[in-house]
Amino acid sequence: MSTVGTADTANTADAANTAGAAGPAGPVVVYGATGHTGRFIVAELRRRGIATAVSGRDEARLEALAAQDGADVLVRPAAVDDPASLDRALAGAAAVINAAGPFAVTGGPVVEAALRAGIPYVDVAAEIEANAAMFTDRAEAAREADVPVVPAMAFYGGLGDLLVGAAMGEWTTADEVHVAYGLSSWRPTEGTRVAGEVSHARRAGRRVRFAEGALRYHDDELAEQEWLFPEPLGRRTVIAEFTMADVVTVPSHVAVPEVRTYMAVEAARDLAGADTPEPEAVDDLGRSDQTFVVDVLVRAGGVERRATARGQDIYAVTAPLAVEAVERLLSGRTRTAGVASAAAMFDAPDFLRALAPYLSVEVAHRP
């Protein structure tokens, strides 16, 4: 077993400071900056010394956020139904991070504005259909514009994809991929609830799975099963085929016929509860007391490989995932071009090492 997430924190910080000191040509624009995850992203950019502009529809809320975070935070209001305002918001920018859901509404307009501006686009979407559309509908335009586009660079879709990349090592194909989420709880934000409603409507209430090499819609009832997480979590009951964005990101670069995701029953019940409260901060970083374990299992030719990540607060950890991606895009530390998932665009083990202050990661290969 190897531990990926124990890189020297000081060296990681030095690298981040060096990147920030060198500085991109302009600010990184955060669209949806006043939302729950957007605020974490703005704080992470500021922590790394990266020039930041906040954007979204509500100028008053943007001004309040900028006043809170520092006078050098730029305010660039824009609306997704006003392409000219998006162009003004991204003028002279180095990159854009889209944190505004539902991404079925915002993803297309913001990525199109990024392509017009010729700057990298990263989003934190966990909406399966919106993720799939980004890969299918924007691939040719991104290649022609020579602009990197990384969808689902978040806890769902991004972290699991990186763990799959780290677990696979030299493999390029697999027989099956499983991603299990052991969340202690899940207090959904308003944005999470709205995105879920949009996805539910787009599917006409059906569920989705990735099987036989494609996304397939079905009306099967949810089922429970046991999942053996690494200690100390141990054996837990999970909802089988609680499908998340990994079913889009992983098959985008791994030749695999089946990708399944699972969710701890406690978290699934929280999400389903209409009266479940939103997250509450318990530390100076604004994180909730939620903890998580993401356990990835990859099988190929009778061999099994595993990668596991542990951390705190799924919304908070999305910020370093997205910001690390932007720093690597701006410094040219990429493996491909156009639209690509986290593990396709970046060196997965190296990326995970850079997240050592936020995540503990272990990778195990066994016969």
**Residues in CB range of 168: below 8 A, 6 or more apart:** 174, 254, 298, 305
Give Cα 266 to chain centroid, integer Å.
22
State pLDDT tens for residues 132-191: 999 999 999 999 999 999 999 999 999 999 999 999 999 999 999 999 999 999 999 999
- Write down the pLDDT at residue 15: 38
**Residues in CB range of 99: below 8 A, 6 or more apart:** 30, 31, 32, 33, 35, 37, 38, 41, 123, 124, 322
Report, as an integer, the average pLDDT of 203-223: 93
Residue 96 has pLDDT above 80, yes or no: yes
Distance, CA of 56 to CA of 61 (rounded, Å): 9
State pLDDT tens for residues 103-140: 999 999 999 999 999 999 999 999 999 999 999 999 99
- Write down the pLDDT at residue 3: 56
Report the run of H or E that residue 193 belongs to, with start and end: helix 190-202
Residue 367 has pLDDT above 70, yes or no: no
- Band (pLDDT 50/70/90 cuts) for residue 21 is very low
Strand boundaries in 84-187, DSSP class E: 95-98, 121-123, 149-150, 176-183
Residue 361 has pLDDT above 90, yes or no: yes
- Band (pLDDT 50/70/90 cuts) for residue 4 is low
Nearest Cα neighbor of 363 from 249, 342, 334, 353 is 353
- Write down the pLDDT at residue 331: 97
Angle between helix axes 103-117 and 190-202 (nearest 10 degrees) is 100
- Write down the pLDDT at residue 18: 37
DSSP secondary structure code for residue 26 in this structure: S
Strand partners, 235: 228
Residue 63 has pLDDT above 90, yes or no: yes
Residues of the chain above pLDDT 70, percent? 92
- Write down the pLDDT at residue 17: 38
Domains of the chain, earliest start first: 7-153+316-348 (3.40.50.720), 155-314 (3.30.360.10)
Residue 22 has pLDDT above 60, yes or no: no
- pTM of the shown model: 0.92
* CA atoms in the 13 A half-sphere facing the CB of 197: 11
**Residues in CB range of 4: below 8 A, 6 or more apart:** 166, 307, 349, 352, 353, 361, 362, 363
Please report, as a single letter, which amino acid is at residue 183.
L
Report, as an integer, the average pLDDT of 197-222: 93
- Write down the pLDDT at residue 8: 33
Higher pLDDT, 50 or 19: 50
Tokens for 248, please give them: 């889009």
State pLDDT tens for residues 276-315: 999 999 999 999 999 999 999 999 999 999 999 999 999 9
